[in-house]
Amino acid sequence: MLTRFSSVTKCGGLFPIPALSTCVVPPGPPENHIAPEVGDIEEALEFYGRLFKFELRGKSDFMAFIDLGDQFTALQKGRKQPADDGRHFGLVVEDKVARKALKAAGVTLLDGPFLDFRDPWGNRVEIVGYDTS
């Protein structure tokens, strides 16, 4: 289970508490979305649709907004850079289900300790499975 913590630390900045010479650093806000660049919006919707269940929030010729769990992803047309190496985004998915979907879709897993793959445009995706037991 993940827990967010507020921390109190000596600093000269945020939310000063004058009597204590400290400040309260609030927990960071949850992320709102990610925006991986893809080559083609329709192809990206088809690719990610083979791997994950999502709701299409809206789309244009250059963007598609999909709801994945409690966050959304903005697929953006225009990928021009080489494939990602270390840079990635992580999605929380049950590991066994993800492995099955990736195998069925013919996706090649990357070497390493995590369940990582690249989409057809070179975006590196890491599947993160939280232990729910």
CB 117 within 8 A of CB 91: no
Q: What is the pTM of this model?
A: 0.73
Q: What is the mean pLDDT of the chain?
A: 80
Residue 77, pLDDT score: 97
Question: Structural domains in the chain?
Answer: 1-30 (no CATH), 31-128 (3.10.180.10)
Q: Which of 51, 49, 92, 88 is nearest to 69 (CA)?
A: 92
Contacts 24+ apart (CB under 8 A), 83-86: 83/118, 83/122, 83/124, 84/118, 84/122, 84/123, 84/124, 85/124, 86/124
In angstroms, the CA 105 to CA 101 distance is: 6
DSSP 47-102: HHHHH---EEEEE-SSEEEEEETTEEEEEEE---SPPPSS--EEEE--HHHHHHHH
Over residues 32-88, the pLDDT tens digits come to 789 999 999 999 999 999 998 899 999 999 999 999 877 889 999 999 999 999 999
Over residues 81-133, the pLDDT tens digits come to 999 999 999 888 877 778 888 988 899 999 988 889 999 999 999 988 775 55
Half-sphere exposure of 45 (CA within 13 A, CB side): 16
Burial class (CB in 10 A: 0-12, 13-18, 19+), 55: exposed
